[in-house]
Amino acid sequence: MMAGRRQKRSGSRLLLAVALVAGTLASMYAGARLADSLLELFGVSSTPVRLGAKVVAVAAALPAGYYLVERLFLGRKGPRA
């Protein structure tokens, strides 16, 4: 394999962009739902506390979403010869 020759996969950048947007939205939703479920389980009813916990949970879930999308794209097979 020659180092100077790289084959571009068509649509891979667009697919990556769509996957990143979907992963971001899904991780935000999952973080908020998880925080809401846990707060409900513990009986927290204070609105500022619930909002703060949701913000923290979403901030923690975003890197996980990016990690999963990255693993998906790194796990794809390279161009076929």
The one-character DSSP state at 22 is H
Task: Record the pTM.
Answer: 0.71
Q: Is residue 52 part of a domain?
A: yes
Number of structural domains in the chain? 1
Ramachandran assignment for 11, one of left (phi > 0), alpha (psi -120 to 50 degrees), beta (any other): left
> What is the chain's mean pLDDT, rounded?
84
Report if residue 24 sits inside a domain. no
| 27: in domain | no
* pLDDT of residue 9 exceeding 60: no
pLDDT score recorded for residue 14: 86
Whole-angstrom Cα distance, residue 61 to residue 48? Answer: 20
Mean pLDDT of the region 10-20: 80
Residue 67 lies in a domain: yes
| Tens-place pLDDT, residues 27-52 | 999 999 999 999 999 999 999 999 99
